[in-house]
Structure formats: C-alpha cells, structure tokens
Amino acid sequence: MTDPTAQPAPTGASAFEVQPKKKGLTRRQKRGLSRGVQYAVFVAAVAALAVAADWDRLRNQFARPDIAERMFPEVITLALQNTVLYTVSGFTVGLALGMVIALMRLSSVGPYRWLAGIYIEIFRGLPALLIFIFIGVAVPLAFPGTEIIGGTYGKVALALGLVAAAYMAETIRAGIQAVPKGQMEAARSLGFSPARAMISIIIPQAFRIILPPLTNELVLLFKDSSLVLFLGVTLAERELSKYGRDLASTTANSTPILVAGLCYLLVTIPLGFVVRRMEAKAQEAVK
C-alpha cells in the first residue's frame, strides 16, 4: 500500500512550492486503502456465512432433487400458468381502470379530479393483502347472491386491478403531462376535438414514455399475484406460491418453495432486462 514513489518529488525550481505531506496518506493511498477494506469485509462476511451455515441440512431441506422432480411438469403447466394468467388479467383491468382514473385526474371537472385523487391515495396506501381480503370477504357479504364474473380469476383480476390502477393512473398521468403542450395545440389547430386528439395523438406518445414503468408494474403484479392464497382457491386454481406451500407441507420439505421461487425469477429477471433495455433506448432517443 505504501509506495514511496507515490510521494510528490520535491522540485525546488517550481514557482508553486508543493508542500509534501509530512504525515498521513496521499489521496491515491487513501482511495486504495478504502477499497481494500471494503473487499476484506465482503470476503469475511461470505466466509463467515459459509462456515456458520449447516449446508447439509440446508440442502436436505431446500434442494432435494427427488422432490423437485415430482413437481414437474405441474409447476409449469398449472402453477406458473395460473400465475401468468392472474397477472395478465389483473394488469389488463388495472390498465383500463388506471387510464380512466388518469383522465379523471386531468379533467377540468372538479369532482372527477377529487374522486380520482381520493382513489389513488386510498389504494396506494393500503396493503394489497387487505384488498384481497376485502374482495374475498366483504364483497360477497355486501352483495349476497352476486358472483364476481369469472370466479376466482375474476376476483384476482379485480383485486390486482384495483391495486395496480392506483399506481398506473399516476404513471399514465405523468406520461400524458410529459407530452409537449404543442402537440395538443397542433392537433386542435388541425380540427381534432379534445377527446380525439387525446386518443390519436397524446396517448400513443405518452405510452412510449411510460412503457418502462408500466413493465415494472407488471413485475410487481406478478409477485403480488401470490396473495391469491387468501381468497381460497381450488386445486386447479393454485398459482406458484400456493402450489409450492401445499407441496411443502405434504412432503414436509421446503424444496417446492425454492422451485416456486426459481419459477418467479424465470419471468421477472428477463422482464427486468427488457425494462433496462427500453430505458436505455428511450435515453438514446432523447439525445
């Protein structure tokens, strides 16, 4: 670390006499030392974890190949498929509702704006879990005899949609406001009505801007679909989390949880990659 050549060479001829530091480290030495310490801490932490953990028991509990094998192909054909189905239906409802709320938020009619604002505050402030319980319990109680269309799928779409709509409404509103004012003026000057200008000119541009955050929302929903657990589902309606947990309790082993987790990552990691690609492309387009 201590390199004597790193010290500035004394040059008597220099008009600016650089005072060699008498004690302490040079800037370069400090930087090197800091980085060295960070690496040391990291290695020590990993080593401590590796030594302290009981790897045999961990492997026995979480990575039994025979149990993992028994999960296939059902974990894909049933559980992952249901997860995707729940997510896509929730996203669709959320997008439609979010669009309506975003437009209400931008409306010139006061009550629309207030209503949209209240909705966003409430549904952003509540845990998704509570909304699932509300849909599963309160709605059947309040409207006895009525069935939400689509059974469990309908309920999940509604619950996820209600949560997603609050976030998406804010995203969509920001996207619409990010479209330059001149676009609306140009459209109006060509004779477009406000609604037609919104649909043909403004919203298509807004969606280009908000595609990355919307995809992020899709990832969040994908994970939140695990809350279906609290609605009570039939065997055929189970998604990844429920499926993994059920199997974990029947086999008295946690391997199914690990496999279910990997299935989530199978979808979320590529989606995250797509989002970063889109963000980079959008950044390029701005330049």
Partner 1 sequence: MTENPEKSENPEKSMEPENPEKSMESEKSVEAVEPVGTRRPEIRIRDLHKSFGDNQVLRGIDLDIAQGEVVCVIGPSGSGKSTLLRCVNLLEEPTRGQVFVGGTEVTDPDVDIDAVRRRIGMVFQQFNLFPHLTVTENLTLPQRRVLKRDKARAAKAAAENLERVGLSEKAGAYPSSLSGGQQQRVAIARALAMGPRVMLFDEPTSALDPELVGDVLAVMRMLADEGMTMMVVTHEMAFAREVADRVVFMDGGVIVEDGTPERVIGDPAHERTRHFLSRLLDPARAQVEEERNQGLTGGSP
Footprint on this chain of partner 1 (rule: CB under 8 A):
180, 182-183, 185-193, 196, 200-201, 204-205, 208, 285
- Give me the least distance between CB of 180 and partner 1, in Å please: 8
Q: Mark 251-284 as b/e (b = at least 16 C-beta within 10 Å).
A: eebbbbbbbbeebbeebeeeeeeebeebeeeeee
Closest CB to partner 1 among residues 145, 191? 191
Closest CB to partner 1 among residues 113, 188? 188
- Give me the least distance between CB of 16 and partner 1, in Å please: 43
- Give me the least distance between CB of 206 and partner 1, in Å please: 10
- Give me the least distance between CB of 204 and partner 1, in Å please: 5
Sequence-separated (6 or more) residues with CB below 8 Å from residue 112: 104, 105
How many C-beta atoms surround the C-beta of residue 49 within 10 A? 9
User: Quick check: bond before 4 cis, omega within 30?
Assistant: no
Closest CB to partner 1 among residues 27, 287? 287
- Give me the least distance between CB of 212 and partner 1, in Å please: 16
Closest CB to partner 1 among residues 29, 205? 205
Closest CB to partner 1 among residues 52, 285? 285
Contact 224, 211 (CB under 8 A): no
In the numeric block, the tokens 């994970």 are attached to: 223
Query: What dihedral do alpha carbons 33, 34, 35, 39 form, nearest 10°?
Result: 100
Closest CB to partner 1 among residues 194, 270? 194
- Give me the least distance between CB of 108 and partner 1, in Å please: 13
**Separation between Cα atoms, residue 218 and residue 132, nearest integer Å:** 18
Tokens coding 207: 């969606």
